[in-house]
Structure 1
Amino acid sequence: MSGTNKTAIVTGASSGIGRYTAIALLNEGWNVVITARRSEALQETQKMSTNPDNCLCITGEITDEDFVVELFNQTISRFGRLNLLFNNAGISSAQVPIEDLSLGEFQRVLNTNLVGPFICTREAVRRFKAQSPPGGRIINNGSLSAHVPRPFSYAYTVSKHAMSGLTKCTSLDGRAFNIACTQIDIGNAATDMGGRHAVGALQPDGRMVQEGVLDVQHVARTIVHIASLPPDVTVLDINIMPTNIPYIGRG
C-alpha cells in the first residue's frame, strides 16, 4: 500500500534500523522527517532513498525537550500532518555486574531509551489529537530484552521493560482518539548494535555463542507494513528474530 501524502518521524535515523526504516518509508512515497545527533550520517540516509526530496533532516538530541517540541513543530509546518512516529533511537551499555554499573551510565541509557521516547510520544499524541480528523500511529522499538534479559544488562533491560509500559499506556489512552501504538521486539538485526551477536554473545551459563542475525531489511519492511494499516487496526506487539536465535528457552 502506498504511503503517498503520509508523514513519519523516525528517531535514531543515522544508522541501523532507523536508517533502513526511513529509507523504506521514503521509497514507499512517505514524507519522512529523520532525526539523530549526527548531521552527516542523517544526510547519508537521505541520499540512500529514491525520494530524497520527501525527506527532512533535523539534527538534535531527543532527550532535549525543547528540541523535540521544535522537531514536531517543524514537521507540521513542512508537511501539515503527522501520521507516524517511530521511536527508534536507543543505546546500550557495557555488560557488567550491577556493582560495576555507575548511576551516571544507568541514567544515560534510561534517558535515551525511555525519557526520549516519552517526550516524543507526548508531542506526537498532542499533534494526533489536534489534527482533523484526529489519529495517528506510534511504533516503539522494543527488544527481546523487554521479555527476557541477557546477562549483565540492567540498564538496557530495564529501559525496554519500561517501553512496554509506555506502549500499553499509549494504546489504552489513545484509542478514543484513533491513535494506535505498537511495540516491535527485534532480535539480532544485522546492525552495529545487533550484528555483534554473530561474533559471540554471552549466555547465562557463561559461554560465548555465535547467534543468528536478521537482515535489517526484513525489520524495515515489517515496520512499513504496520505503518500502512488503516488507523482503526492496531498491532500491539510483534516480534521478529532469526529462527535459530536462543531466545525461547534462553537460560
Structure 2
Amino acid sequence: MNKEIMEVGRDKIAAIVKAWANAKKLVVFTGAGMSTESGLPDFRSARGLWKVGPESLATMAALRQQPDEFYFFYQWRIAKLWDVAPNQGHQALAALQQKGNMVIITQNVDGLHQRANAENVVELHGSLRTIRCLNCYAVYDSRELLPQYSTWEEDYRQGNYCYGDECLCSQCGGLLRPDVVLFGENLPDKAWEEAVKHSRNADFYVVLGSSLVVSPANYLPQLALQNGAKLLIINQEPTPLDSSATWVINSSIGSVLSAIKDKMFS
C-alpha cells in the first residue's frame, strides 16, 4: 500500500469497498481532475496562449466572428487530447465497472473513459473525439480538424495563423464544429435526462475530480443525497458537498481507485 493510501487509512478503504460492493445502483460522476492525472491540461490553465479568454472563444459567435481564434483553440485542445492516454484511475474505474451496475456521468469531453474500455458513459458536455458539419451534419473523427503541417502552433504564436480547408466539410464545404457544448448552449436533452434519472436512483454516488461548482451538473449528486445515497468524494480540493458526504478523500484519484480495485478483487 503506497504512502498516499496509508494516509487515507486501511479502515476507510475497507469501508468504501464494502459499500461499493453492496451498492445496487452505483453512479460515478467525473470532472476535470479525473483527466489532469493523464497530463491533459485544463484549457483554462493555458490562458496565456490565447489572445482572449477561453469563455469568449468557446462560442458560436467566436466561430462566426473570430474563426481563426476559434479553430486554433479547438485544434490545440484536440491535439492535446489525442496525445494522452487513460490513466490508472480510468483503468481502475473500467475494471470496477465489471463488478456490478455502474453508470459513469462525466463533465469531461476527452473520451478517456471509453478509451479505457468503460461502458455506460453519459457525456454531459459532448465529446471532443468527434466534429460535425454545421450545414449537412456529417460527423468526422476530430483528428480530421488538425492542420496537416507541423508549424501551425508556432504560426499562431507569431500571429501568422489562418484556419484552412481542414475546417471545412469534405462533403458540402460547410464549417465544422466540435461535438461539445459551447458556452451559451444547453446540455444535450438526452444526456441530461439520463444523468438525472441515474442520480435520483443511486444508492451510492462517487464524485471524482469535480469542484462541484459548475451548474447545472453540480445538482446531480444533490439528487442522490435526497434519495439517501452514500456519497464518496475524491478530489484534491474541498467541495461544497464535503459536509454532506459519507467519505471525503483529498488525494490522487488514480491511487485511491487502484486501492479500491485491488481490495475489491482480492
**TM-score in same-fold range (> 0.5):** no
TM-score relative to the length of structure 2 = 0.38
Higher RCO (C-alpha under 8 Å, 6+ residues apart): 2
TM-score, normalised to structure 1's length? 0.40
